[in-house]
Amino acid sequence: MEIALEYAKGNSLGSYNLLPDYLHKLAEENPGTLAEIETEYNENIGNRFKYMFLAMGASIMGFEHMRKVVVVDGTHLRGKYAGCLLTASAQDGNYQVFPLAIAIIDRENDNSLAKAYPEAKHCACILHLKRNIKTYSKDKNLGFLVAKAGRAYRLADFYKIFNEIKHVNASCAYYLIGIGFEHWAHSHFPGRRYNIMTSNIAESWNAVLREAREYPMLALVEFIRAKLMSWFSTRGSTISASLDNFTPKVMEILVVNFESSAGFEVKKIKHLEYEVRNKEECSFHVDISKRFCCCFEFQLLEIPCQHAIAAAIVAKVKVDSLVAEEYTQNAMVAAYVGSVAPVIHTDNIIELTGQLSELDMLPPSSRRPPGRPRKKRFLSRGEVRMKTPRRHTVCSRCKGCGHNRATCKTPIS
C-alpha cells in the first residue's frame, strides 16, 4: 500500500525537500499567505524538518468577518514519518467550518501550545466533558445534566441544574468544580463563545483530511490547498445567489424565535425598554438599545431571542437591525471574497519527488512504528462504538423470493 501510495502521491523523502520551494511559490501566488518552516541542524546529517506553519491569505482576510472564536485541535499523521497535524478553525455566519491555519509538528504537547493566544479565554468541549463524566457514573442522565448546565445562559438556571448534578453524583460535581466553571459553562465564560460549545468544527475538518493524512508531506499540503480553493469558490457563488439578508442557518433561528414570540405580553418601561411576559407568565426585561435580555440568549448569541423579537415588534424596530453583522450575507460575501490559487508548474511534482537523490532537507528523525497504520481512532474511556448492521443479501436466482442467498433452496436452472 505504501509503495502504491508513493507512485500516486510522490516519494516521502523527496516530498520534504520540495516543500520549501512549494510554500514559497504558494505564497507568491496567494498574497497575504504566511508560510514558515523550521528545521533542526545536525552536523553529521544536515537539516531535518521540524515544524511547518501555513495560513492562506484568503483565510486571514476572511477571518476579519468571523466571530472571534478559534477551535484548535491536533490529529496524528499516518504516513511513513511520525508527526501531528494541528488545525485552527473558525465558524462562519452560516455555522460552516472556516479553516484558518495548519501546522505540522513533531508531536502535540505543552511546548507546542503553551504560547498560543496567551491573552485569550480558553474553554473546553462539552462533548469531551460528557465522555469523561462516564468514568463517574454510567447513568446517561448525568451526561445530559452536564451538557444542559454547560449550555445554560443564566446563572440561576446553571446553579439549579448543577445542584441536581451534586445530588445525583457528588464526585462528578467536584470534578466539574476542579475544571473551573468558566472553562465549560456558558453562563460563567468571561468572553463570547456564541453557539460554539463543542470542538465539532475541528472534528469535521479532521474528517475531511482523514485519508490525506497518509499522504507524503507535499501531497498533504496540496490536498488542503485544493480543498480550500473548492470551498471558497463554491461558498462564494452560493452566497451571491441568495436574496435573504442573513445566512440560511440564522434565518432558521429567527423564524423559530419569531413564531415562539406569538402571544407574548409586552409592556413599556421607558424608551426601548420593555417587560415581556411569556405564556407561562414568566417576566423578562428587554433593553433594545443595549441589545440586552435577562434571559442572556440575546447578548451571548447576538441573535434576537423570542423576548427581544416581541419587544422589537411593539417598539417598531426592525429585527434585522438587532442581528450581529457577522451573520449577514454581506459579511459572508466579504469572508469568501478571496480565492486560493494553485502553484504554477506542479504537474510533474510527483515525478520530481521520486527522482530526487540528494536531499537538502531531510524528513524528521521519528518514523511511524512498524505495522499497518490504524484507520480508526482509539475510543475515549466509556465510549462505545456502534455496530454496523449486517447486510441482508437477497438471492438473485430465485427471482426475488426474499430469502438470503446462503439459505435459499431454489435449484439452479
How high is the pLDDT of residue 378? 44
Q: How far apart are CA 377 and CA 203, in angstroms?
A: 12
Q: What is the pLDDT of residues 70-105, one digit of tens each?
A: 999 988 888 778 789 999 999 999 999 999 999 998
Q: Give the pLDDT score at 355.
A: 47
In this prediction, residue 413 carries a pLDDT of: 44
Helix (H, G, I), strand (E, B) or coil at 221: helix
Number of other CB atoms surrounding residue 7 within 10 Å = 11
Would you list the DSSP string of 117-168? STTSPP---HHHHHHHHTTT---HHHHHHHHHHHH--SHHHHHHHHHHHHHH
Tell which residue, 327, 349, 326, 116, has the closest CA to residue 226.
349
Residues 6+ apart with CB under 8 A from 207: none
Give 97's strand partners.
91
Whole-prediction pTM value? 0.81
d(CA 178, CA 396): 62
pLDDT computed for residue 241 by the predictor: 63
Amino acid at 310: A
State the pLDDT at residue 45.
76
C-alpha cell at 38: 523550521
User: What's the confidence (pLDDT) of residue 370?
Assistant: 56
* Distance separating alpha carbons of residues 11 and 19, to the nearest angstrom: 12
Around Cβ 237, how many Cβ atoms within 10 Å? 10
What pLDDT was estimated at residue 357?
39
Round to whole Å and give the CA distance between 30 and 55: 10
* Distance from C-alpha of 87 to C-alpha of 73, rounded to nearest angstrom: 6
User: Could you say which residues of the chain have pLDDT below 50?
Assistant: 350, 352, 354-359, 377-392, 413
- Nearest alpha carbon to residue 145 among 184, 88, 178, 193: 184
Measured CA to CA, the distance from residue 2 to residue 8 in angstroms comes to 10
Q: How far is CA 132 from CA 143, 354, 389, in A?
A: 9, 46, 28
Buried b (16+ CB within 10 A) or exposed e, 43-66: eeeebbbbbbbbbbbbbbbbbebb
Sequence spans of domains, the chain: 2-120+199-240+334-362, 126-184, 248-325
Contact 219, 205 (CB under 8 A): no
Distance CA 116, CA 125 (A): 18
pLDDT at 56: 97
Look at residue 61 in the predicted model and tell me its pLDDT. Answer: 97
